[in-house]
């Protein structure tokens, strides 16, 4: 059974100032996520599921989904703030979505095979998809434990020249298994190290070769059962908080610590490109152009 690619594309793009999921960065008008789909297909993925919002459904399908007709089957799911387990309702005044774990949960009725989860606005690289595809081909096991994977990037290759970034710093065992992820929200490059400047005047130093999570995950469908179980528990604690978000790493961390899952860190030396700020776009466009000139990608993907 071929794995499925689940693309989280429901984000607002508030810091970017527009619908960056469909913004062209390739030489023939490709969006970043077009390169992810291309890499996933050549790594053996058999279907793509886009998690989007209904308010931009028409534009997204016309500009993105239509490109893949005849290349790979495509399905759509919708992240809806009202998609909550009974008897929960959206608190008065809340307009913010519930986070990446909630977005992934939206695919629970259409994905029944091992799957990858990615951000729509991140460029992950060919090697990353090849490694994750190989892992997912053998992810199901008979030992009763859920077996997940995360592609780990070198921190240095994920920093922005245009501002601080948030990254999950991975604690990895000598055997390559994930022990935990520490979220750092204001990382900047400072010479031959990185610094997390969340606390003014007291930066935390982080090695540039630390492995970080860029939200490129590999899961088996057993994750959905755990999401259904844990979402009401999370809402009971956080549901009334105006800006609370339920993130994928929170769920993985819980499952690993409870002994219900393990998560292998798949190291890659691929460069990661992200469009967090509008000022990042020229750099991303230039880097993709270099890969095209080197023959890594054709000038026109689809």
| List of domains in the chain | 4-293 (3.90.550.10)
CA dihedral 239, 240, 243, 244 (to 10 degrees): -30
Q: 3-state DSSP call for residue 181?
A: strand
What radius of gyration do the chain's Cα atoms show?
19
Q: Write the burial class of residue 78 (CB in 10 Å: 0-12 exposed, 13-18 middle, 19+ buried).
A: middle
The closest alpha carbon to 188, from 202, 205, 209, belongs to 205
d(CA 213, CA 170): 7
Q: Write the burial class of residue 254 (CB in 10 Å: 0-12 exposed, 13-18 middle, 19+ buried).
A: middle
Full-model pTM? 0.90
pLDDT at 19: 56
pLDDT at 142: 67
d(CA 26, CA 283): 12
The answer to whether 117 and 6 have CB atoms below 8 angstroms apart is yes
pLDDT at 17: 45
pLDDT at 276: 66
pLDDT at 107: 98
pLDDT at 21: 57
Say if strands 165-172 and 261-267 run parallel, antiparallel, or are unpaired. unpaired
CB atoms within 10 A of CB 237: 9
Q: Would you give the end-to-end CA distance of the chain in angstroms?
A: 24
Six token digits for residue 11 = 């984000």
d(CA 68, CA 128): 21
Q: Write the burial class of residue 144 (CB in 10 Å: 0-12 exposed, 13-18 middle, 19+ buried).
A: exposed
Residues 6+ apart with CB under 8 A from 121: 11, 13, 16, 20, 21, 32, 33, 274, 275
Distances (CA, A) of 263 to 136, 148, 260: 12, 5, 10
Q: 3-state DSSP call for residue 115?
A: strand
Six token digits for residue 165 = 């970034």
d(CA 49, CA 72): 10
Residues 6+ apart with CB under 8 A from 299: 27, 28, 292
pLDDT in tens, the chain (302 residues): 899 999 999 874 444 344 555 678 999 999 899 999 999 999 999 999 999 998 888 888 888 899 999 999 999 999 999 999 999 999 988 888 899 999 999 999 999 999 999 999 899 999 999 999 999 988 777 678 999 999 999 999 898 887 898 898 999 999 999 998 888 989 999 999 999 999 888 999 999 999 999 989 999 999 999 999 999 999 999 988 888 999 998 899 899 999 999 999 999 988 888 776 678 889 899 999 999 999 999 999 98
Burial 156-195 (b: 16+ CB within 10 A, else e): bbbbbeeebbebbbbebeeeeebeebeebebbebeeeebb
pLDDT at 121: 85
């Amino acid at each position: 059974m071929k794995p499925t690619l689940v693309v989280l594309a429901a984000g607002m793009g508030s810091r970017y100032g527009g619908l960056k999921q469909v913004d062209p960065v390739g030489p023939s008008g490709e969006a970043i996520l077009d390169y992810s789909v291309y890499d996933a297909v050549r790594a053996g993925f058999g279907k793509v599921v886009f998690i989007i919002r209904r308010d931009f459904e028409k534009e997204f399908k016309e500009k993105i989904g239509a490109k893949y007709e005849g290349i790979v089957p495509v399905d759509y799911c919708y992240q809806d703030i009202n998609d909550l387990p009974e008897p929960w309702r959206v608190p008065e005044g809340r307009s913010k979505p519930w986070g990446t774990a909630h977005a992934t949960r939206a695919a629970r009725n259409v994905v029944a095979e091992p799957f990858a989860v990615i951000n729509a606005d991140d460029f992950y690289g060919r090697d990353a998809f090849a490694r994750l595809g190989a892992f997912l081909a053998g992810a199901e096991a008979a030992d009763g434990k859920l077996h997940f994977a995360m592609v780990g990037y070198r921190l240095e290759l994920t920093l922005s020249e245009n501002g601080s970034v948030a990254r999950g710093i991975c604690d990895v065992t000598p055997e390559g298994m994930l022990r935990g992820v520490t979220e750092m929200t204001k990382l900047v490059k400072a010479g031959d190290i990185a610094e997390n400047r969340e606390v003014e005047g007291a930066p935390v130093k982080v090695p540039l070769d630390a492995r970080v999570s860029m939200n490129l995950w590999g899961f088996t469908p057993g994750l959905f059962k755990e999401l259904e179980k844990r979402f009401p528990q999370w809402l009971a604690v956080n549901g009334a908080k105006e800006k609370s978000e339920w993130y994928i790493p929170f769920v993985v961390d819980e499952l690993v610590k409870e002994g219900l899952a393990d998560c292998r860190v798949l190291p890659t030396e691929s460069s990661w490109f992200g469009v967090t700020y509008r000022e990042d776009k020229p750099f991303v466009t230039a880097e993709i152009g270099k890969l095209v000139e080197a023959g890594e990608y054709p000038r026109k993907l689809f």
